[in-house]
Structure 1
């Protein structure tokens, strides 16, 4: 094995393009690790701590592309020789529409006349300055970059509010503005539902489910995960609510987030109630959000958020509830859950829903060591493999399945595993055929391997195809369900000692939402009455 670095002077590429190319270059035999980063001090430090930095890489500057490859000598040389061609290939532009749009704009000053939105994907230390430039030029900003200090985020969003503009991010992974996808997003039909969320994969799940339920989407506005923190105060979520309230194409609004700071959640719900449009709020696991103000439905899960919004947008009865698969019950010594997610929101939802059922759940596991199988804990495991500790020198698992495949093989071979859960996210930014790599690992599983419960996030209009990806997983032996929520419920039914305990948080939250919405309906506008009916049906199925 050899380790080599190469530095390409003044060659910039955004992080999604770099992750895609790294995943492609790591595919051939003989290549163990590939990392492509801009040569910022922080990135050089990460490579050094990971044992991937050599003398040429130490001289890289912030505007230089730094490539690190470890493997067999010939394979390493071949990978290094392909970098520039791979970056100039189709589909490697900025994380926008996914189409080849020609040479990228190198300066905001050189943006086309009339441009109204800037997509910023520079290294974190430079992202805020570029976003401020966009605001001064009258453009909304979609900031894909992470590692932006929270103090700069607050200043950016206050400036945007002063100018009547939106700052989506920093660390914003998903948006769909007037049908144009930004970052990781799905092809969904146009319609009456607008979404605002601090969760990228949560937005993808709800918008894709709306599509499958016959509803459509007007806009999807990402905020960045820190937006609902006490420090930021929900500035973009509140601005997004106002933008959708003013949009004549939007009739129903959905909020999606992990638990906001309590005071922020209260302010957002109060603000939503005053908009005059029906709002569905899904603050996953928020213990303080138990009373819905007039016009607002509290949805306990991602599935129920989509279901309630679809009913309000399309009219009539709620779409069908979740259909659980018939999975064989585990037998001793199999007793542990192994949930291996690419989407962090799905891991959060599962841990919240399954905690009261399974008890002791761990959210951490040792990162894999090259050449060795991952070690799995002797506890129920709900793992977010898109977390920073697993993506330090590798692309995100939505792009490169290597690390998750290693964990999947370990889980299938572990005699303690009673069930394995997998998510597959398709659409813009995701791998070309993500189900195939997982299916390969399933095909190699022992005959007595535990059952695998999987779900696919996306639509048949995505290039990977929802139906095709589901078929690949089914053909490999997985039990395929319709959503992240259903997968968690299926695990509860499979592993709970008493089915009556399953999803206690969802049921109690649904009951509270139903009661509060019903109480307000008599004194509210017709939208509130529709919300009340929707919430009461949630309680029947959760």
Structure 2
């Protein structure tokens, strides 16, 4: 344990992954001693007074090896990687402050800020005063600071995307997490990063593209913030010549903010698809309401192509879906009846609850549809559950689960040991910023989870959707092939994956609700 040696979580993840692969090493974890990470170490078998006494600013190096001699090489490699000054030349010319960066890049018009939330307001305000739009990735920014920043931006004719903004795509350039999608005529304003990713990749799959995708941050549509960035985003896309259709994405806003946004959408000179997740169609000709992200993509496509299409529960035939579901459930034991969703994307987690609740009843979550469905302990599932593993309780001191699959892998094995788990539901998010090879990262754990269930004379169904495009660096087809090779059932969207999970877990009983017949 090294006291006061703070390192960023992504660097530590890379060190841990490399050291874990060294000869003689059973497992390795190099991380900051946050409460969650200390629990992770304890669960992995690393115990002792040093772990217990360590604080969140202390670095822990935990390595399990065959013997003391085998520890020498991995410890040396950790020290080498943490002290490395790779790209020294780049370090020498890299600006050390926003002011020096503006001097070096005098033509810059946007600042991307990713620092601890308590410092974010100061740097974002400096950026606005320098005439820059702001993409604010930082989370844990006080709500009053967000209001002040957005009011300051509005007064200057600038835009603040965030705080806690995971994705934007401006003029084809991805900020934060995002996929390689076509340029086109659909503009998105979204309080959800994975909402942008799901809708944009579904559109890309149909040969359509984006003009821009403006992330607002998850709190923009709260009553306190009042949708400031969303309103500005609508205005900008209305004025943009390349945008023909506007898509708005968010969890349901507060009533006053919702009314304000819907009024702006109704007055738009362009068709607007409003996706306040779970809320249905308003029926207006130029403004339609989408229940799911998949619906939003379908409706936007209809406006672009001039051909509106109806919703279907699955992209393939009913008979094919029923046959596959029956195959997945046929070897399950009588105790297996619950769905366990393990999500890296918070909005995907929420969308799954929107889909599942009418089919199977109450779904518990750490990001629930209603307060009474909040799970007491997000580290232990209860009945049907969808867990947002990108929430603050899981990511303090760790990389986001789109990057680091460690906690999800452990949780997957935990769910496999539970005799009541029928289906594990996953999202696999590709694109810039995400894990460079998620299928390779998780496939062995999925195989182990299925073996665990099999040892208990059970069959564990694993259902997933891949949010990505053929042009993403991870290679969409390769990812799909590798996941399928370990028995993962892949669906073309998160909504379809949730529906299929319900069909499997219910042994086909929800078919009547899905397909509208008496079979």
Measured against the shorter chain, the TM-score band is 0.7 to 0.9
Q: Distance in 2 between matches of 1:68 and 1:406?
A: 19
The correspondence for 2:31, drawn from 28, 35, 38, is 35
Is 1:398 the equivalent of 2:402? yes
- In structure 2, the gaps of 5 or more residues are 41-48, 65-70, 367-374
- The verdict on how the C-alpha distance between 1:88 and 1:6 changes in structure 2, with shifts beyond 3 A counting, is farther
Give the corresponding residue for 1:420. Answer: 424
Of 336, 360, 363, which aligns to 1:358? 360
CA gap of 1:46–1:441, structure 2 versus 1, over 3 A, is closer
1:509 corresponding residue in structure 2: none
For residue 344 of structure 1, the aligned residue among 343, 346, 351 is 346
Deviations 1:142-172, CA, capped at 9 Å, x for gaps: 0011111110000000111111111000111
On the 8 A contact 2:19/2:77 being kept in 1, the answer is no
> Which residues in structure 2 correspond to 1:11-22 (within 5 Å)?
17-18=10-11, 21=14
Residue 131 of structure 2: aligned partner = 138
Offset of residue 35 of structure 1: 2.5
Question: TM-score scaled by structure 1?
Answer: 0.78
Q: Which structure has more RCO (C-alpha within 8 Å, separation ≥ 6)?
A: 1
Cα distance in 2 for residues equivalent to 1:123 and 1:503: 48
**Correspondence list, 1:76-155, <5 A:** 76-85=75-84, 88=86, 104-110=94-100, 111=102, 112-155=105-148
Provide the rounded CA distance (Å) in 2 between the counterparts of 1:472 and 1:103. 41
Moved more, 44-53 or 334-343: 44-53
- Determine if contact 1:229/1:264 at 8 Å carries over to the other structure: yes
Count the aligned residue pairs: 467
Partner residue, 1:209: 202
Aligned with 2:236 (options 235, 243, 249): 243
Cα 1:209–1:411 shift into 2, 3 Å: same
Matches of 1:240 and 1:411, distance apart in 2? 41
User: What does residue 46 of structure 2 align with?
Assistant: none
Q: 2:196 & 2:50 partners in 1: Cα distance?
A: 35
From the superposition, tell whether residues 250 and 52 of structure 1 become closer, same or farther in structure 2 (CA, over 3 Å): farther
Q: Which residue of 1 aligns with 2:187?
A: 194
The 3-state SS of whatever aligns with 2:5 is: strand
Q: For 1:390 and 1:48, how far apart are their aligned partners in 2?
A: 12
Confirm or deny that 1:501 pairs with 2:513: yes
Q: Deviations over 1:358-404 (max 9, x none)?
A: 22322157879xxxxx7543x11211111222223432211111111
Tell me, yes or no, if the aligned pair for 1:208 and 1:458 is still in contact at 8 Å: yes
Q: Once the 2 structures are TM-superposed, how far is the Cα of residue 228 of structure 1 from its aligned partner? A: 0.6
2:31–2:61 Cα contact (<8 Å) kept: yes
Aligned equivalent of 1:327, options 325, 330, 349: 325
Paired residue secondary structure (2:219): helix
Return the alpha-carbon distance in structure 1 between the equivalents of residues 91 and 162 of structure 2.
23
Following the alignment from structure 2 to structure 1, what is the Cα–Cα distance between the partners of residues 114 and 163?
Answer: 9
Kept in 1: contact 2:272–2:287 (CA 8 A) = yes
State the shift of 1:323 in Å. Answer: 2.4
Residue 416 (structure 1) shift: 1.8
Distance 2:515 2:13 in 1: 37
What secondary structure is seen at the aligned counterpart in 2 of 1:228? coil
CA contact (8 A) 1:354 1:502 kept: no
